[in-house]
Structure 1
């Protein structure tokens, strides 16, 4: 993460993060080196950076060229980036969609140009050549079932939403509400977006503390960045021991927080497998091979009891 931050400037859209130096290049069906263009939702988001790290690692391992651009959360910019990849005649495009609907035209443009396009981590309403990611409905069901058990089926929950209109936000909300149907004693008393952002989540949590105070029993944050922001605000207000917080992704910060007892639980989303399998799928498509239309990687609940198995030893 630190090394990537040194490479990232907000004004830069193009990130030439992988220039393959291997002499053993993987070739496409036409005998040329495979070139993959990737447009990512936001390279300021730690989980997305983790997915990209694995894409980069797998691209080097397989001897292909990966050109990455940062959509900076703009679906319009993402479509323009896909158009640029089409003009460059890349072999395959990997898109980490900004929005379900607004990013969908990029799919049609790529397919019309006869360039396979893979959605990684997030979805569009338009059907790509393949999808690699996880079922976000499942992640929220795991998180809300944890809260329901901890609260004994009764209590007030605040829900921090992700970037509105993105697949993860929509599906995590859907999954949460499916579980809540089974627990009439659980109530969402407020829900609002903090746009996957830690600082925005902290500010939102401070406002909620002012509004709801002792009525708050739990917080479901749709990602760890927001969960960590909520924990910080609750701790500052002296309420953390009274409020259960669960979030999703199991980024390193969140795992450390679970181990320390600051964050009650997170739901592990496997960035490594998503990134690696996206590149593996891209290589197969470049070679004209058949791929699975959807590769789904399961989520896992992480609590203090099992967190040690998810924490990677320091290098």
Structure 2
């Protein structure tokens, strides 16, 4: 009996050691007790993402999460490689701001295959204007159609019931923001007396927008407002109007609520824009990711809404990028 007892004791010790080593393997992402590691994929370097990272870092600190960043420098193939690197490293979750929708779809597919959850933020994936996409844990960011509608509301407030002729300056053709912001603008202007008589792309560039408006002035085109899909373009358009001595006759609307955009309102270069907090967007993205990893329910979409900004309320907003 004594010999048998020793054998049993030895067997129990072996089992305890085996289970101890097993516990050192892949952690349970739903336990809520581990320090999660989240890989954050950024599309490229801009001031906006500096502000977004501030929110991400703040939320990571508050939730004891480790963040590893990768910046694709606006190269979709590079972002795909960075995503594969995160997959190989076995991060607990990938927070993705895709270079373009095509790259985003491939990353979601690869990560899902490896059983690594993906949360998208800022840049939506797919064609659903809400940002909801099969295979994502959640999308955190703006609804670009709703954002475009806000610019339309700003324009209507500036021109009043009389309305007028509008020039639309758009971002990079074929991109989700360009397509959906235009759709939202057109929806907001339905039934109003504002007519879009001309549209052109500035590729989000201030100098290109300035040149577009200069050309229209030289052609003696009559218009009452310039509606832009970004603040860069709006400040360029406003500058061209000031140089031509026409700013008092033509209104300018931007989008984004950047530091330059808000300053341009106070300086009288533009007349209105939209605002949402990039810091808040980054913070909510990580908070949503942590909730999911802890096994809590998260919504497929968390919309961060843009609001109207004009000379009367511009001082209430703090530029972040």
Question: So what's the TM-score if we normalise by structure 1?
Answer: 0.81
CA contact (8 A) 2:96 2:104 kept: no
Per-residue deviation, 1:132: 0.5
In the alignment, does 2:27 pair up with 1:39? no
Per-residue deviation, 1:244: 0.8
CA contact (8 A) 2:40 2:94 kept: yes
In the alignment, does 2:283 pair up with 1:282? no
Give the structure 2 partner of residue 204 of structure 1: 212
CA contact (8 A) 1:47 1:249 kept: no
Give the structure 1 partner of residue 8 of structure 2: none
Q: 1:138 aligns with which of 137, 140, 146?
A: 146
C-alpha distance 96-312 of structure 1, shift in aligned 2 (>3 A) = closer
For 2:173 and 2:98, the matched residues in 1 are separated by 13
Per-residue deviation, 1:261: 2.4
CA contact (8 A) 2:38 2:95 kept: yes
Question: So what's the TM-score if we normalise by structure 2?
Answer: 0.80
Per-residue deviation, 1:28: 4.6
Give the structure 2 partner of residue 10 of structure 1: none
For 1:92 and 1:197, the matched residues in 2 are separated by 34
CA contact (8 A) 1:99 1:165 kept: no
Q: How many residues align?
A: 284
Give the structure 2 partner of residue 154 of structure 1: 163
Give the structure 2 partner of residue 85 of structure 1: 86
Per-residue deviation, 1:218: 1.1
Per-residue deviation, 1:222: 0.9
CA contact (8 A) 1:259 1:307 kept: yes
Q: Please state whether the residue corresponding to 1:201 is helix, strand or coil.
A: helix
Give the structure 1 partner of residue 50 of structure 2: 49
Structure 1, unpaired ranges of 5+: 1-26
Q: 2:200 aligns with which of 156, 179, 192?
A: 192
CA contact (8 A) 1:136 1:168 kept: yes
Give the structure 2 partner of residue 304 of structure 1: 311
Give the structure 1 partner of residue 95 of structure 2: 94
Q: Deviations over 1:110-169 (max 9, x none)?
A: 111111111111211143210111222222212112212332353221222223333222
Per-residue deviation, 1:170: 1.9
For 2:138 and 2:30, the matched residues in 1 are separated by 19
Root-mean-square deviation (CA, aligned residues, Å) is 2.4
Give the structure 1 partner of residue 177 of structure 2: 168
Q: Please state whether the residue corresponding to 1:215 is helix, strand or coil.
A: coil
Per-residue deviation, 1:178: 0.9
In the alignment, does 2:252 pair up with 1:245? yes
For 1:206 and 1:76, the matched residues in 2 are separated by 37
For 1:288 and 1:87, the matched residues in 2 are separated by 23
C-alpha distance 303-89 of structure 1, shift in aligned 2 (>3 A) = same
Q: Please state whether the residue corresponding to 2:40 is helix, strand or coil.
A: strand
Q: Deviations over 1:253-289 (max 9, x none)?
A: 2112212322101111221221100011122233333
Q: Deviations over 1:39-82 (max 9, x none)?
A: 223222x3233222211232233322222222233333322222
Q: Deviations over 1:169-202 (max 9, x none)?
A: 221111011123222x422222233232333333
**Stretch deviating more after TM superposition (109-118 or 253-262):** 253-262
Give the structure 2 partner of residue 120 of structure 1: 121
CA contact (8 A) 1:118 1:129 kept: yes
CA contact (8 A) 1:220 1:247 kept: yes
Structure 2, unpaired ranges of 5+: 1-27, 127-132
For 2:184 and 2:269, the matched residues in 1 are separated by 24
For 2:151 and 2:275, the matched residues in 1 are separated by 10
Per-residue deviation, 1:303: 1.0
CA contact (8 A) 1:248 1:269 kept: no
